Structure 1
Amino acid sequence: MSSRSASIAAEHLRLSVAPMMDWTDTHCRNFHRLLAPHARLYTEMVHANAVIHGTADEKGREKLLGKDDSQHPVALQLGGSDPHLLAKAARIGADHGFDEINLNCGCPSDRVQAGRFGACLMREPTLVADCVAAMIEAAPDTPITVKCRLGVDDDHEWDRFRAFVDAIADAGCNLFVVHARNAWLKGLSPKENREVPPLRYDWAYRLKRERPDLQVIVNGGIADAEEATAHLDYTDGAMLGRAAYHDPYLLHRLDIRWFGGETRSRADLLRAWKPYVEGQLARGVYLKHMARHILGLFHGERGGRAFRQILSEGAHRPGADWSLVEQALAATAMHDFVFCPPAA
């Protein structure tokens, strides 16, 4: 048996935001950190080759591994299937201060299938175990974790899923993020793969029940605070994906509900982001690269449509700055309120 991965304290697992391609970049994570001080954040998936070959200079490092200290705890998600390359990339990630290195075994896109990584690795547990063991050896002080599906295509056997987990656990992995549905490798788009295969949360619950020594986080289709909270009765944590992006204030409600603290209005939280935005603007970052992450802040609120429209139409224009955000906020000012969570 390989040496065990470094562990993560239980209180750091309850709430997390899923790695989402083209979404959870450093600007998004910085905003989410303001909303949810206790949430665990994840980068977009980065291929091991890109980490190794694309970080030779400061510009490359900033593009691929950019973050600021406020984002901790933050995990780097890697794609790949070569143990040697993943080990090198894990070491680089650890040296750059990431709090966790996560191996993607769940992405179903054609690109990852062609590269023999992502969800197709669910059918190669021995290879994944070798990858995890190599990553643990390369970064012994940084937790090495796996994000996976329940299976691929017509794999609906519990014993096959459990054998996959057991093989990787034997290699030293202590934590599994389970997207609780199958991945269809043919016939469904990545978007459809997040919606069409049926959710089976009971498999994640059963995994935690039968392997209580493992840490299990459930992911997939979690849409509201009540549903997220219910998962904590059966697993170590709930990971939000699209809901956290399209309704980011949900993160704030959950953080207050689960960890305590003072509920803040949407406008107050957004204005707390102003120093970061203005600092990025001063570095030459365009407002559009940041504003896209806040479009859902007033989701379901009166004035939310005007808020989105003002930012969507104006953020890409030359010279767009914080004054545009204030203009968008002004469209909601008469309708903003503070959410008061129910008593536990």
Structure 2
Amino acid sequence: MDRTVAVAHYPEGAGHATRMLGVAQALEDAGVEVVLAGGGPGSRFIECNGYEVFRAAPVDYIGDYQEGSLGRVLTKSLPYSAKRVVDLVGWLRREEPAALVTDDMFGAMAASLTGTPVYVVTHNAASYYDAAVEQVFTWLLNRYQLSVAESFLYPAVWPPDEGDPPGVEHVPPIALDPTDSSGPDVDVGVLVVPSVYSTNFDVLAETLRTEGRDVTLVGTDAWEAVPALLPWIRAADVVVCSGYSTVMEAAVGGTPCVVYPFTDEQHGVTRVLERRGVRGFQVEHSIAHVARAVRHPPDSPSHDNGVDRVADHVVDRLA
């Protein structure tokens, strides 16, 4: 068996990169060589962990659509999407891996064009969205991924749900958890983790401080980039976040989490959390309500890390 597996992350935000790096490290632990591709802001976290990463052309559909317009999607996102597929096709042809593991729809397209077996690892679902154009696009995307993938692995902090795409295989939440990453040497207190699309998290952090809480705000000038956020999440009393990657990390880290959503996808995820009553998570929609939830946080979650499940699934099928 060829023991090289390609791992590619979607280029929006850092969460895609960190969780796919977690999968890559689990594959390495299983005796597999990995090559990495990505692009966008998340790739610097991969490089921070000492890996080389091929940077394909980045895209930002969420930013272009939700902060811009459909016209901007047509004139910017779509042309860059074609360039990204071309870049990834060239990369796969150069590397000739036994398989590709990815949360990137363009990676799946590139794999189908090169005849590379592909394993999709993502939680995206049409049910998360309210806008018809987003629902239709995501439904078509899920159908395509299911049609080309050897497996569609669905990392979730909830049990199988009616809103999940039909045909996916549930795995536990996945998080980057390097064994050689040291924890913080300060009192973390409340760990506040904005996503790329969050707003006013500095105001939120200051509000919590005025209530006498120790607050660590990720991404400020005072924050130094770390190879993995999970040790900080484990050390925190409570996590406040918007993105699903941090939700999964809180689930794996066993830390109560208050989710403050902004994008359509984030709101969709929180609807599932509330509908299924997932332990360890509370959803709020204003700074005042987040501050109140931090004063009375939910119980701690308890989940296995799904990276080994993903790695074992891929390695077993390659063998």
Structure of greater Rg: 1
For the criterion TM > 0.5, the same-fold answer is no
Scaled by the length of structure 2, what TM-score is found? Answer: 0.36
